[in-house]
Amino acid sequence: MKPTVTLARKGHESSVTPDDPRVPVSMTVNGGVRNMTVEPRTTLLDALRDGLGLTGTKKACDRGECGACTVHVDGRRILSCMTLAAMQDGKHITTIEGLEPDGNLHPIQSAFIEHDGFQCGFCTSGQIMSAVAMIEEVKAGWPSAATADVTSQVTAADLSRAEIRERMSGNLCRCACYPNIVDAVAEAAGRN
Reduced to 3 states, what is the DSSP secondary structure of residue 35? strand
In a structure prediction context, what are the per-residue pLDDT tens digits for the chain, which is 192 residues long? 443 333 444 444 555 566 778 999 999 999 999 999 999 999 999 999 999 999 999 999 999 999 999 999 999 999 999 999 999 999 999 999 999 878 899 999 999 999 999 989 999 999 999 999 999 999 998 888 888 888 888 888 778 899 999 999 999 999 999 999 999 999 999 865
User: What is the 8-class DSSP label of residue 97?
Assistant: G
Neighbour order of strands in the sheet with 92-94:
32-38, 23-29, 92-94, 70-73, 76-79
First to last CA, the chain: 61
Where does 5-98 sit in CATH, by number? 3.10.20.30
- Residue ranges per domain, the chain? 5-98, 107-191
d(CA 86, CA 24): 8
- CATH class, domain 107-191, is mainly alpha
